[in-house]
Amino acid sequence: MLDLTPKTVTERGALRVNPCKTCQPVGALYAALGVHKCMPHSHGSQGCVSYHRTFLTRHFKEPAIAASSSFTEGASVFGGGPNLRTAVKNIFDIYNPDIIAVHTTCLSETIGDDLNSYILEMSLPDDKTVVHSNTPSYVGSHITGYANMLSGFIRYLADAHAAGNGKTAVFPGFVNPGDIREIKRMLELLGLSFIVFPDQSGVMDAPMTNTYQMYPEGGTTIDEIRALGGCARVLSLGRFSCEAPADALEKKCGVPYVSLPLPIGVAATDEFVMAAAGPDGSVPGELDDERGRLLDLMLDANPYFYNKTLAVFGDPDTVLGLTAFTLELGMKPKYVITGTPGDAFVRQARAVLDRFGIVDAKVKAAADLFELHQWIKNEPVDLLLGTSYGKQIAKAEDIPMVRAGFPVLDRYGHSYMPIVGYQGAMRLAELVANALMDRQDRDCADEDMDVVM
C-alpha cells in the first residue's frame, strides 16, 4: 500500500497525512506526570484521555495515569463545571493525590469552559491543590501542550516571595526519563545545587517491585515548584518546550533564564556544561574524559558517516539537536521536518545547517510524513532518523532507520537510554554507525564481506 504514495508533491494547507506530531493534551499529561503525587486530569470526554494515556503508555511501556471529566451530551451543552467539581472530589477521596493538574481538550475549549473560575469556586482540603492549563488539540502540538502545562504549574504555584535559595532551576525539555537522569548526573558532577522541573525519572521508568504504586517516588514536589521563585536562575533546555514556562517564571518571580538547545551532540552539550558550570568555568575531569571518548568514537567511525544523507523528523527541539549532531558526524541532512507549527523552527534549522555549509536541505514545520515520503521517492537518502512512524517509509523505500525521540512505539529500552550529553551522543553515534554498517554488510558482494572494519 505504501508503494502507492505518488511522486508528485502537491502543497496541502488543510490536510495532514501521517502527521509528525500528536495533540496538546498528550504533552500536558506527560508534564503533569513529572510532578510528585500528581493526578493529571483531562477536562473532556473519556475517549480523549483513553487515547492520550494509551499513546504515552505505548512509548514508555509504563502505565500513564489520568482521570477524566467524562463529558456527555449534557456537559457539552451546559458546560463541564459540575463534572469537574464532582471529579475533583472523587479523585481526592479515592486516589488521594497531593495535586490535580487539569488540562482542557477540543470539546471543553470549544464550548468555552472557564477552568480558572471553576477552580476558584471549589472548596478544597487544606493540603490539596488544583492547577490547570488550556490545551486545545486543534492548536500547536504535544510540545505546545507540554509548555502550556508547565506554565500552568508556575502560574499557580511558583512563589514570587520565596526566599532566595541559590539554586539553579533546570527545565529539561520534552525528553525521556533516561535523558533527565543523565542531565541530573551531569549537574551533580558539576557540583550544582538544582531543581529539575518537571522530572519524570522515577515515575515513567519506575522499577519493578511487585507492588503497584500509583504515585512512585520520583517527580518534582509541590514545595520545589513553589521554591522556583527563589532560584538564582533557570537553564531552559529546548526552546520550543521550555522557553515559554521559563519566561512565565521570569515575569512572575523575576528569575532570569538562559535559553539553550537540548544538549544533543558535542557543541550543544558543551554549551549546556559551560552554562551550568558558572562563572569560573570549572569542569570536572570525568566530563572532559567523556567528551574525549565521544570525539574518539566519532573519528573512528567517520568513514561510515562521511557524506551520508539522511532525513530527520520528530519534535522540534529533538530534531534540531539530532540535525546538529549528524552534521558534527560529517553527515548531510537532506530533509529536516517537524509537525509542530511555527516559523521559528525553520529559522533555527536553517541556522544550524548554514553553519556547516548545507544550503540545499528541505526544512519544514507543520509537515507530515506523507510529504516526506514523496520527497524521498524523488530523491532518496541513506538513513532515516526519527520516530516510529517513519518505519513505513523505511520499509517501502528500503532505507535503514534509527529510532529516536517521541514516540518510539515499536521498540524497547529507548526511554531508559539517554541521547543527551556526551554519553547520549556516544549511544546515538553507535546506533547510526551500526545501522549504516549493517546495510553495507547486507548489500556488499560476498568477496567484500569482512569482519574487520
Return the closest-CA partner of residue 38 out of 205, 204, 189, 284.
204
In angstroms, the CA 137 to CA 43 distance is: 12
Return the closest-CA partner of residue 97 out of 125, 121, 123, 69.
125
Q: Cβ distance 39 to 65 under 8 Å?
A: yes
Q: What percent of the chain has pLDDT over 70?
A: 99
Q: Which of these ranges, 30-39, 69-78, 79-88, has the smallest mean pLDDT?
A: 69-78
254 falls in which pLDDT band (50, 70, 90)?
very high
Length, in residues, of the chain: 453
Q: What burial class does residue 307 get, using C-beta atoms within 10 Å of its C-beta: 0-12 exposed, 13-18 middle, 19+ buried? A: exposed
Average pLDDT for 68-87? 86
In angstroms, the CA 198 to CA 344 distance is: 24
Q: Cβ distance 307 to 332 under 8 Å?
A: yes
Mean of the per-residue pLDDT values for the chain? 95
In angstroms, the CA 247 to CA 243 distance is: 6
The x, y and z cell numbers of residue 375, run together, are 520527497
The x, y and z cell numbers of residue 399, run together, are 532505507
Q: Cβ distance 42 to 32 under 8 Å?
A: no
CATH fold for the domain made of 24-157: Rossmann fold (3.40.50)
In angstroms, the CA 252 to CA 162 distance is: 12
Largest CA distance in the chain: 78
- Mention every residue, 6+ apart, whose C-beta is less than 8 A from residue 211: none
CA distances 208 to 107, 205, 216, 336, 396, Å, are 37, 9, 11, 38, 38
Q: Cβ distance 104 to 44 under 8 Å?
A: yes
Q: Which residues of 324-335 are buried (b: 16+ CB within 10 A; e: fewer)?
A: bbbbbbbbbbbb
Tell me whether the CATH fold assigned to 24-157 matches the one assigned to 168-285: yes
pLDDT digits (tens, 9 = 90+) for 360-384: 999 999 999 999 999 999 999 999 9
Q: What percent of the chain has pLDDT over 90?
A: 87
CATH fold for the domain made of 168-285: Rossmann fold (3.40.50)
Give the start-to-end residue ranges of the domains of the chain: 24-157, 168-285, 298-445
- Does residue 453 have a pLDDT over 70? no
The x, y and z cell numbers of residue 386, run together, are 526519527
CATH of domain 298-445: 3.40.50.1980
pLDDT digits (tens, 9 = 90+) for 202-216: 999 999 998 999 999
